[in-house]
């Protein structure tokens, strides 16, 4: 660098800094085969946690940065990967109620090293940690020269020699000098980190000013209770009669202190009987007039019975287009919705149904859930996107008229549970509606499916109903078992994905951001 008057500034990162940021990173990581941060990644981070994204400027030019998010560390534990922490770069792992500031990036342009700029970034992180009352800063530190010493030292010996200054590792030495200690040695933290020989040192700095927030009620549940309704299609002459039947099941399932109740797809179809003379296309549009009143009623029931209700699905007219919509009615009085993405040929031809264009995971007081409606579950890409966002339970309301159709839904749901290491709950209808066209008969066996490993049932079925019989089932699912599976399973279908070769990319309006 030429000698000149120098102005150094530490500040929060802005989107407008991206060009300088990218140039600095390309210079900083010449020894590591990784792409620079994408603009959309920086935009997401700034949207979710702007206070945690800081940069250092020299003469108004960004020459280094530190990126971080807040996580609920108990969800991940000490055995995790970088991709798990960043949610496959969705950053949906950021939790404003979390307890740890997790460092996901720090670098300084090589031409500006030796000016202690990285120390300024680390000090700023510590200030963030203290100001947000977080218990610690944690990140995975590269063992940047271990590959040169792997024949001489075990990873543990290498770290001890770095600490005693017998071996110089610029990354670890810097972290030790800044008050960080090694919390754990982890493997496969960063893909293709040959310099570290696939090892990383989990580093931690403890905030001595941290004051734990005691949480007596509304604690995160480790065991979640799910209730499924296998609904009997029968003649119903009024909206009030439908509500009466629904109230019966909600009351029965809530008596067991269930956290969720799931109804089937298009369970309110019996109300179409009054409009059957109009033809199938017009009849289902008349049925759509009940949808919002049903949602409002279910929201009241969710609060009064203290249970989260997945409403099954119903036809919904929006901008003169017909969608197949599902509602999540939370027991705190809030609600969300999901439009069925994949419409079957029958739904298109008979009803003129349209497919939705958004997917979204939902936060609840009993974990993060996803919803797919019937045919949707036969497309594995959607649930994989949900899994990347941290989904723990997938709910699938369905409607099938034949055993063949049912087996497609069942087998695909079981596959989704295994490949995404989550629970999948499916609920369908049984019986006949001879006076409703295009809804003549139904076949169902509702069930809760699990991943496949030693901690779960050998057939991957937690509970299931008797086929073609109106009934409910209530099942408990253990969320801690999912965490254990993610980190210590016999196989790890989420963490062992080859992200260097393939990825699932959402091209629609946007997933849960």
Whether the CB-CB separation of 285 and 317 falls below 8 Å is answered with: yes
Domains of the chain (ranges; CATH) run 8-206 (3.40.630.30), 223-488 (3.60.110.10)
Question: What is the pLDDT at residue 1?
Answer: 44
Cβ atoms within 10 A of the Cβ of 498, count?
8
Sign of CA dihedral 331, 332, 333, 334: negative
Question: What is the pLDDT at residue 458?
Answer: 96
| Displacement of CA 506 from its chain's centroid (Å) | 14
Residues identified as active-site: 265, 340, 374
> Quick one: three-class SS letters along 70-114?
EECHHHCCCCCCHHHHCCCCCCCCCCCCCCEEEEEEEEECHHHCC
315, two tokens: 């036809």
Question: What is the pLDDT at residue 3?
Answer: 47
Per residue in 151-176, pLDDT (tens digit) is 899 989 999 999 888 999 988 988 89
Question: What is the pLDDT at residue 238?
Answer: 92
Low-confidence residues of the chain: pLDDT under 70: 1-4, 31-35, 214-220, 510-513
Question: What is the pLDDT at residue 4?
Answer: 57
Strand residues in 207-263 grouped as ranges (E): 223-233, 260-262
Question: What is the pLDDT at residue 28?
Answer: 84
Question: What is the pLDDT at residue 325?
Answer: 97
Report, in angstroms and rounded to the nearest whole number, the Rg of the chain calculated over CA atoms.
27
Q: Is 489 left (phi over 0), alpha (psi -120 to 50) or beta?
A: beta
Question: What is the pLDDT at residue 216?
Answer: 53
Q: Helices H, strands E: what count in the chain?
A: 13, 23
């Amino acid at each position: 660098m030429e000698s000149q008057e120098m102005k150094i500034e530490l500040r929060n990162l802005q989107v407008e800094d991206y060009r300088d940021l990218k140039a600095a990173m390309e210079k900083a990581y010449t020894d590591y085969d990784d792409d620079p941060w994408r603009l959309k990644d920086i935009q997401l981070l700034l949207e979710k946690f702007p206070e945690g994204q800081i940069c250092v400027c020299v003469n108004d030019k960004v020459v280094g940065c530190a990126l971080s998010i807040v996580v609920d560390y108990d969800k991940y534990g000490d055995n995790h990967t970088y991709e798990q922490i960043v949610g496959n770069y969705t950053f949906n792992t950021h939790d404003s109620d979390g307890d740890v500031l997790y460092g996901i990036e720090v670098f300084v342009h090589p031409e500006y090293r030796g000016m202690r700029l990285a120390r300024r970034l680390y000090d700023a992180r510590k200030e963030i940690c203290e100001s947000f009352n977080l218990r610690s800063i944690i990140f995975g530190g590269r063992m940047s020269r271990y590959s040169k010493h792997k024949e001489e030292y075990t990873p543990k010996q290498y770290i001890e020699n770095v600490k005693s200054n017998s071996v110089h590792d610029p990354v670890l030495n810097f972290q030790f000098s800044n008050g960080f200690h090694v919390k754990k040695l982890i493997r496969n933290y960063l893909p293709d980190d040959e310099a570290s020989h696939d090892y990383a040192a989990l580093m931690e700095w403890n905030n001595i000013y941290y004051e734990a927030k005691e949480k007596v009620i509304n604690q995160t549940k480790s065991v979640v209770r799910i209730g499924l309704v296998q609904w009997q299609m029968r003649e119903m002459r009024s909206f009030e009669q439908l509500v009466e039947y629904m109230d019966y099941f909600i009351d029965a399932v809530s008596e067991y202190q269930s956290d969720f109740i799931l109804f089937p797809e298009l369970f309110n179809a019996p109300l179409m009987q009054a409009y059957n003379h109009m033809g199938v296309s017009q009849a289902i549009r008349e049925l759509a007039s009940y949808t919002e009143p049903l949602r409002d009623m279910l929201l009241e029931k969710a609060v009064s019975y203290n249970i989260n209700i997945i409403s099954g699905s119903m036809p919904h007219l929006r901008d003169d287009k017909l969608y197949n919509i599902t509602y999540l009615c939370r027991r705190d009085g809030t609600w969300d919705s999901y439009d069925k993405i994949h419409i079957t040929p029958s739904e298109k031809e008979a009803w003129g149904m349209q497919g939705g264009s958004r997917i979204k995971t939902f936060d609840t007081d009993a974990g993060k859930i996803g919803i797919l409606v019937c045919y949707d579950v036969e497309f594995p890409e959607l649930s994989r996107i949900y899994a990347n966002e941290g989904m723990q339970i997938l709910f699938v309301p369905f409607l099938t008229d034949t055993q063949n159709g049912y087996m497609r839904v069942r087998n695909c749901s079981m596959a989704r549970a295994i490949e995404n290491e989550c629970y999948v709950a499916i609920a369908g209808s049984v019986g006949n509606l001879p006076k409703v066209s295009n809804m003549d008969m139904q076949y169902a066996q509702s069930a809760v499916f699990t991943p496949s490993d030693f901690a779960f049932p050998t057939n991957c079925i937690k509970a299931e109903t008797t086929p073609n019989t109106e009934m409910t089932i209530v099942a408990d699912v253990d969320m801690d078992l999912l965490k254990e599976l993610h980190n210590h399973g016999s196989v790890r279908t989420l963490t062992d994905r080859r992200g260097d070769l393939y990825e699932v990319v959402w091209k629609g309006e946007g997933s849960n951001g």
